[in-house]
Structure 1
């Protein structure tokens, strides 16, 4: 199946700016009675992520169902990505509520209008680093809209208090607390990826880098809410993987197969 690339530009009332989305569309979509949707944060990276190549290969092998990809180019990402209603210790994420409203109130309806379908078969939302945190937070707060969420090297360190000397309280990690305190979202499925060389920081000195620690702890938090592996949660660890698009590009086919397998 051939994929084509188109540009969608929206004037967002919530973000008060123009938002560019790169759409990757499967050939002949107008003849399909079913379509899946992937929203992708940091959509300006799709070329480096080799996303079109991965999709074309998976279609050729008949491993995934047709999916429309809306790759959303980042704006002021340190403010627009984050956790809705809860800023980090530096006041970052101040526009995350506006970004969530853009996704749910502006982008999704526009995509449904463009594709000519009221609903998509499966809707997934994914992102990288801070974009992964954003995708998880928005999906968690809108389980009626999203079926699956993916976080590549997610910034799950996002915290309400800075790291100081002798710091050892992990209860300040914001997204862990959100999931602990909010109602179980049984409809959602989760995909997480880390790389063994994502970083070198090890704040609790347990010889496991923080990005892996934070992700594994988040998975444990989800399991405590009633989710299980592998039915609801998939975790991919890439040996020698780094916090960069090259590693995420390697992981992308695994995510696409998980999210949209035939």
Structure 2
């Protein structure tokens, strides 16, 4: 699958970032869409390009445009990912229109999937819930739903949108640490498992379609690499 590098400038975020776009060799008239946040983590550590190549080679995935979206840097990630409205607007008002304009075959995509891990799993979920018709599926690997006293879980409890996305949530059975200091001004009071389970319970309580997996492992790229193929198979089954 050929891959092309682009740069997109965001007025909502007042910055620019790289996009890596993978296109089928002979794209059909209609293409499904996979948006993967945290491009550097996914590409360099999870090895998502290799995972995608394998799934395309055995025809598990077909007719799909893949867009990896850069996180820019760690400071930007800390700012944009914890349910930051400008980031959700960037996805809805700038990124998706850019994809449609440059790859028109995605305009009638049957499956529109957004994927993230840890903090970007939270960001992907927020963007999909805030703009409920934008994505059909969300893949969130070890999502950081503990953020801001589980704000996202509380904010959308009782909200039943007309076009709810389906969610794939997973988390490692060893992600049990509490009171974790990520920076001097950011503490995670509850475990990753508890945060994900609270979010799952909220979604199920409000009628969302949820697939929940606990994998054997921790908060690591190696473990996310093992679970990502199952998530993609679920999303594009």
> Structure 1 length normalisation: TM-score?
0.80
- The one of 143, 146, 157 equivalent to 2:135 is 146
- C-alpha distance in 1, partners of 2:215/2:60? 22
Matches within 5 A, 1:3-82: 3-29=1-27, 32-45=28-41, 46-75=43-72, 76-82=76-82
State the secondary structure of the residue aligned to 2:5: strand
Output one character per residue of 1:44-98: Cα deviation in whole Å (capped at 9) or x when no partner: 1213222122122112222223221111111301111122xxxxxxxxxxxx222
Matches within 5 A, 1:229-248: 232-239=209-216, 241-248=217-224
- On the 8 A contact 1:196/1:237 being kept in 2, the answer is yes
Task: Tell me by how many angstroms 1:186 deviates.
Answer: 4.8
Output one character per residue of 1:193-243: Cα deviation in whole Å (capped at 9) or x when no partner: 10112352289xxxxx7211221121111111123xxxx21112111x121
- On the 8 A contact 1:140/1:185 being kept in 2, the answer is no
- C-alpha distance in 2, partners of 1:226/1:193? 19
**RMSD between aligned residues:** 1.8
- The one of 97, 100, 105 equivalent to 1:109 is 97
Task: Tell me by how many angstroms 1:116 deviates.
Answer: 2.0
Task: Tell me by how many angstroms 1:181 deviates.
Answer: 4.0
- On the 8 A contact 1:112/1:119 being kept in 2, the answer is no
Gaps of 5+ in 1: 84-95, 160-171, 204-208
Higher helix share: 2
Match of 2:108 in 1: 119
Instruction: Pick which of 107-116 and 56-65 moved more.
Output: 56-65
- C-alpha distance in 2, partners of 1:257/1:135? 18
Task: Tell me by how many angstroms 1:27 deviates.
Answer: 1.7
- Structure with larger Rg: 1
- C-alpha distance in 1, partners of 2:195/2:134? 26
> Structure 2 length normalisation: TM-score?
0.87
- On the 8 A contact 2:175/2:192 being kept in 1, the answer is yes
- On the 8 A contact 1:125/1:146 being kept in 2, the answer is yes
- On the 8 A contact 1:22/1:71 being kept in 2, the answer is yes
- C-alpha distance in 2, partners of 1:17/1:243? 29
- C-alpha distance in 2, partners of 1:137/1:155? 11
Match of 1:213 in 2: 194
